[in-house]
Amino acid sequence: MKPKRGLDRGAALAARPEAAPLVRCEERENGGALVTVRLARRRWLRWLGGPDEVEQSFGLDALGREVYEACDGKSSVRKIIRDFAARHKVSPAEAEIAVTTFLKTLMAKGLVVMAVDKARVK
Amino acid sequence: MARIGSSMLAWAGWRMRVPESWRPLRIEGEWRKGSIIVGDAAEAIMQVKWMRVTRKNFDAARWARRRLKKVRRAPAAGGPSPKGFPDPAWAPADPDAGRGAFWYGYAPAAGLLVGVLTSAGVSRKGQRAVASTALPALRASGRDDPTRWAVFGASFESPPGFAVRRRRVHLGDVALQLTAPGRSTLLLRQVYPAALALARRELPLWLEFPVFKEHRRFRPADVQEAWRVESFGRTLEGLRRQGRKQLPFPLGVCAPRWSEAAVVHDAELDRLLIVEYDAAGRADKDRVARAIGAMNWAHFEPGGKR
């Protein structure tokens, strides 16, 4: 059986999230934004015809936008957490839960991809 | 002065300084008896158990010995000896033998028994931090002293005699409801970041929605008015309101309560501080002011973030 590949906590925090290429970003009144990205369609949908890519919009509040904009492919998850905790005066433990949960959501939606150091993948 | 990398954890009359990455993973029980599991992002590190003792002739040393005997451990010398806990019992961790650490202490001034337990699977670093950082910093509030609470970055202080009845510990929203004999209820709440909270709901509306379900409905006695309160040498601004809480018709005349509530914006810490005090008699405005003024004590004490 093929061994399951995984990341330890250190490697996950050292990963660098990068936002998907933006089509447009509309400002919102509450400081948030409506971001539109181009995402690849599922393969079975492509077989049914239509375009290979589709535009999708996601509403982010002010804090969500801040984390999303920090996903520049250069800053590590650890740095994003540290900056978030310092900016909003919350404990690092609290910031870690909030930021990592949000990044997981962004990854599931296809808004963010993670660049992981290959040597650290077990 | 600031101690880098530590945060305060306080609950139900005990408090300790723990590494900054530690956080409560599970809170169980209530004022008289309960437990908190504390850990970091990688593992659960320790369990803190507490129990209030009302017996006058309580033999804490015997109780601790019997407790250790139950888990087939013998007390060892040279364990952590925090101030206010005379003669604690200690059995250090022995990971090679598959044994965790046990520490039991009794604070006579508080009538509080505290047990700190770690399992054998906890990393050596975690075991070391419990024995050398958390346990030596353990303290207990006296019976007649205010009780201190600190969880994540939010800290509160409740007057003596108030016991926690309900709690809500969410990221960015921590609330405690405490009750005292004589049908008094005190709600302490912090919502943060305030900038986001105020973008979602204006300041006056934060007093309108109860955080815990209530049978009584609020009837204002006057309009909300601007209010100022002193807190650690700063003046915080916000709103206060006064009124009565009554059961729905036709039970409105049965046991009404006076309610005094206030919400202030702490711009420095970017938090909304909310206090609501209900009492059978006229609610005490000063109690609300004191409760708000003492919020975030952990931030301003030596070793805090400031």
Instruction: Find all residues with CB under 8 Å of A49, minimum gap 6, and list them.
Output: none
Q: Is the pLDDT of residue B20 over 90?
A: no
The pLDDT value recorded for residue A91 is: 85
- What letter does residue A109 receive in the DSSP assignment? H
Residues of A in contact with B172 (CB under 8 A): 90, 94, 98
CA distance readout (Å), B118 to A40, B22, B27, B36, B72:
48, 14, 16, 12, 15
The answer to whether the CB atoms of A90 and B196 lie below 8 A apart is no
The pLDDT value recorded for residue B265 is: 96
Where does the pLDDT of residue B254 fall: very low under 50, low under 70, confident under 90, or very high at 90 and above?
confident
Q: Which one, of B95, B99, B94, B85, lies nearest residue B135 by Cα?
A: B85
Interface test with A, best of B22, B23, B155 (most A CBs within 10 A): B23
Flag whether A55 is in a domain. yes
d(CA B33, CA B29): 6
The answer to whether the CB atoms of B199 and A9 lie below 8 A apart is no
Q: Is the pLDDT of residue B99 over 50?
A: yes
Q: In the structure encoding, which two tokens stand for residue B185, read together?
A: 């209820």
CA distance readout (Å), B154 to A86, B157, B184, B269, B296:
15, 11, 23, 10, 6
Q: Cβ-count burial of A42 within 10 angstroms (0-12 exposed, 13-18 middle, 19+ buried)?
A: exposed
d(CA B186, CA B260): 10
Q: Is the pLDDT of residue B277 over 90?
A: yes
Flag whether A105 is in a domain. yes
A 10 A CB-CB count for A87 gives 13
Least confident range of A29-33, A96-100, A111-115, B19-23? A29-33
Backbone angles phi, psi at B237, to 5 degrees: -115, 145
d(CA B291, CA B275): 7
Residue B10, beta-bridge partner list: B15, B150
Chain B interface includes A89 (CB < 8 A): yes
Where does the pLDDT of residue B8 fall: very low under 50, low under 70, confident under 90, or very high at 90 and above?
very high
For the segment A54-84, what is each residue's pLDDT rounded down to a tens digit? 888 899 988 899 999 999 999 999 999 999 9
Query: Which CATH class name applies to B6-140?
Result: alpha beta
Provide the ipTM. 0.72
Q: Average pLDDT, stretch B180-192?
A: 91
Where does the pLDDT of residue B3 fall: very low under 50, low under 70, confident under 90, or very high at 90 and above?
very low
Q: Is the pLDDT of residue B1 over 50?
A: no
Flag whether A60 is in a domain. yes
Residues of B in contact with A103 (CB under 8 A): none
Where does the pLDDT of residue B195 fall: very low under 50, low under 70, confident under 90, or very high at 90 and above?
confident
Measured between CB atoms, which of B152, B193, B200 is closest to A91? B152
d(CA B9, CA B6): 10
The answer to whether the CB atoms of A61 and B41 lie below 8 A apart is no
Chain B interface includes A72 (CB < 8 A): no
Name the more confident of A101 and A43. Answer: A101
Q: Is the pLDDT of residue B2 over 50?
A: no
Residues of B in contact with A84 (CB under 8 A): none
Q: Is the pLDDT of residue B306 over 60?
A: no
Q: Which one, of B216, B221, B220, lies nearest residue B245 by Cα?
A: B216
How wide is the angle at C-alpha B119 spanned by C-alphas B118 and B122, nearest 5°? 90
The answer to whether the CB atoms of A89 and B153 lie below 8 A apart is yes
Measured between CB atoms, which of B20, B192, B196 is closest to A61? B196
Chain B interface includes A66 (CB < 8 A): no
Q: Can you give the residue range of the structural domain that contains A32?
A: 9-110
Number of H helices, E strands in chain A: 5, 5
Please tell me whether residue B139 adopts helix, strand or coil conformation.
Answer: strand
CB B292 within 8 A of CB B152: no
B184-191 vs A22-27, strand pairing mode: unpaired
Distance between first and last Cα of chain B: 9
Flag whether A3 is in a domain. no
Number of structural domains (chain A) is: 1
CA distance readout (Å), A121 to A10, B151, B178:
11, 34, 48
For the segment A15-37, what is each residue's pLDDT rounded down to a tens digit? 999 988 877 888 888 788 898 88
Q: Is the pLDDT of residue A1 over 70?
A: no
CA distance B100 to chain A (A): 24
Percent of chain B with pLDDT over 70: 97
Residue B250, preceding peptide bond in cis (omega within 30° of 0): yes
Measured between CB atoms, which of B41, B200, B270 is closest to A9? B41
Flag whether A50 is in a domain. yes
Per CATH, is B147-300 categorized as 1.10.30?
A: no
Output B81-88 pairs: Cβ under 8 A, ≥24 positions apart.
Answer: B81/B136, B82/B135, B82/B136, B82/B137, B82/B138, B82/B139, B83/B139, B84/B109, B84/B110, B84/B139, B84/B140, B85/B114, B85/B138, B85/B140, B87/B60, B87/B61, B88/B64
Name the more confident of B209 and B266. Answer: B266
The answer to whether the CB atoms of A89 and B40 lie below 8 A apart is no
For the segment B147-166, what is each residue's pLDDT rounded down to a tens digit? 999 998 899 999 998 999 99
Q: Is the pLDDT of residue B288 over 90?
A: yes
Interface test with B, best of A27, A81, A88, A101 (most B CBs within 10 A): A88
The pLDDT value recorded for residue B91 is: 92
Domain boundaries, chain B: 6-140, 147-300
For B298, which residue in chain A has the nearest alpha carbon? A91
Interface test with A, best of B6, B151, B152, B306 (most A CBs within 10 A): B152
The answer to whether the CB atoms of B23 and A30 lie below 8 A apart is no
The pLDDT value recorded for residue A111 is: 87
Q: Average pLDDT, stretch B226-253?
A: 90
Chain B interface includes A86 (CB < 8 A): no
Flag whether A118 is in a domain. no
Residue B193, preceding peptide bond in cis (omega within 30° of 0): yes
The answer to whether the CB atoms of A90 and B40 lie below 8 A apart is no
How wide is the angle at C-alpha B271 spanned by C-alphas B265 and B272, nearest 5°? 50
Q: What is the pTM of this model?
A: 0.85
Measured between CB atoms, which of A89, A93, A97 is closest to B20? A93
Flag whether A98 is in a domain. yes
Q: Which one, of A39, A67, A69, A65, lies nearest residue A51 by Cα?
A: A39
Backbone angles phi, psi at B135, to 5 degrees: -65, -45
Q: Is the pLDDT of residue B209 over 90?
A: no
Interface test with B, best of A90, A100, A101 (most B CBs within 10 A): A90
For A99, which residue in chain B has the nearest alpha carbon? B171
Query: Which residue type occupies B6?
Result: S
For the segment B73-94, what is each residue's pLDDT rounded down to a tens digit? 888 888 899 999 998 999 998 8
Report chain B's mean pLDDT, rounded to a whole number: 90
Flag whether A15 is in a domain. yes
